[in-house]
């Protein structure tokens, strides 16, 4: 069955409800970006078909495909940043802040593999999604750098600003590698995810893994672990 056949006919929105259509377009684009085998091949026609409208109706809300994709990226970055901030909002010290932020990042990435790929998969050509569209991603990295540097305060030898940046970058590289490999190679007999997070942070903070594990927030109702959804 074709995707056109699967899409239910869409009723016209009443006058004044253009924002409803805009939200539907954004949801459809986010879904397709997170589920297509080749998300870089996404077209406005596919988005329109998913919603059940004519492609021309999209231009009332987005001038082109690039603008629509960048809007989706902004929403996903805001979602991830909000989860990381919420996880760390009541942290009593920098180490707990760092553990909470990193755990939220990993859990969201594993719980939302399609959306994680949309943000960090690097599949979009530069002419469609310029580097500036990932500015919010740089802000997430900056938050991790700051948190890691604060957790390291009190060490006998304080690192320079450049060394702090490099340490944060290496930590993010490790977090990204963990999420990407965990998502792409589910057939590997992985240890429990929290054990992996604790071991990874232990390597980057020189703290015992048991200490890190004790600081990990309980995942329970963590929205980052919900199945991929819009």
In the chain, the N- to C-terminal Cα span, in Å, equals 23
Give me the DSSP letters along 138-195.
HHHHHHHHHHHHHHTTT-SSPPPHHHHHHHHHHHHHHHHHHHHHHHH-TTS-PPPHHH
What are the mean pLDDT values of the chain's consecutive 10-residue runs (230 residues total)? Answer: 44 62 96 94 96 95 95 95 95 95 97 95 84 87 92 74 93 97 95 97 96 83 44
Determine the number of helices (DSSP H) and then strands (DSSP E) in the chain.
Answer: 10, 0
Contact 137, 120 (CB under 8 A): yes
pLDDT of residue 135: 87
Residue 61 near residue 17, CB atoms below 8 Å:
no
Q: Distances from the Cα of 187 to the Cαs of 83, 123, 178, in angstroms?
A: 28, 24, 14
Residues of each domain in the chain carrying CATH 1.10.10.60:
3-62
- Given this model, what pLDDT does residue 4 score? 42
**Structural tokens at position 75:** 């929403």
- CATH 2.40.40.20 fits domain 3-62: no
Both structure tokens of 77: 């970055």
Quick one: which of 148, 174, 176, 179 has its CA closest to 161? 148
Are 163 and 170 in contact, with CB atoms under 8 Å apart? no
Fold adopted by 74-225? Tetracycline Repressor; domain 2 (1.10.357)
Q: Where in the chain is the domain with CATH 1.10.357.10?
A: 74-225
d(CA 84, CA 79): 9
User: Quick one: pLDDT at residue 136?
Assistant: 86
């Amino acid at each position: 069955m074709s995707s056109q056949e699967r899409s239910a006919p869409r009723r016209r929105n009443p006058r004044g409800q253009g924002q409803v259509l805009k939200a539907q377009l954004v949801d459809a684009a986010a879904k397709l970006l997170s589920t297509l085998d080749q998300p870089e091949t996404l077209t406005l026609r596919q988005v329109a078909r998913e919603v059940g409208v004519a492609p021309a109706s999209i231009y009332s809300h987005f001038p082109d495909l690039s603008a629509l994709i960048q809007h989706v990226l902004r929403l996903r970055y805001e979602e991830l940043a909000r989860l990381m901030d919420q996880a760390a909002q009541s942290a009593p010290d920098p180490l707990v802040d760092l553990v909470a932020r990193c755990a939220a990042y990993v859990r969201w990435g594993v719980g939302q593999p399609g959306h994680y790929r949309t943000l960090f998969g690097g599949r979009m050509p530069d002419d469609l999604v310029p580097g500036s569209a990932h500015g919010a991603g740089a802000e997430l990295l900056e938050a991790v750098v700051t948190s890691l540097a604060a957790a390291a305060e009190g060490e006998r030898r304080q690192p320079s600003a450049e060394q702090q940046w490099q340490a944060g970058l290496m930590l993010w590289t490790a977090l990204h590698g963990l999420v990407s490999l965990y998502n792409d190679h589910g057939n590997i007999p992985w240890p429990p995810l929290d054990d992996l997070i604790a071991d990874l942070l232990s390597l980057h903070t020189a703290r015992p893994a048991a200490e890190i594990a004790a600081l990990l927030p309980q995942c329970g109702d963590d929205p980052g672990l919900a199945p991929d959804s819009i």
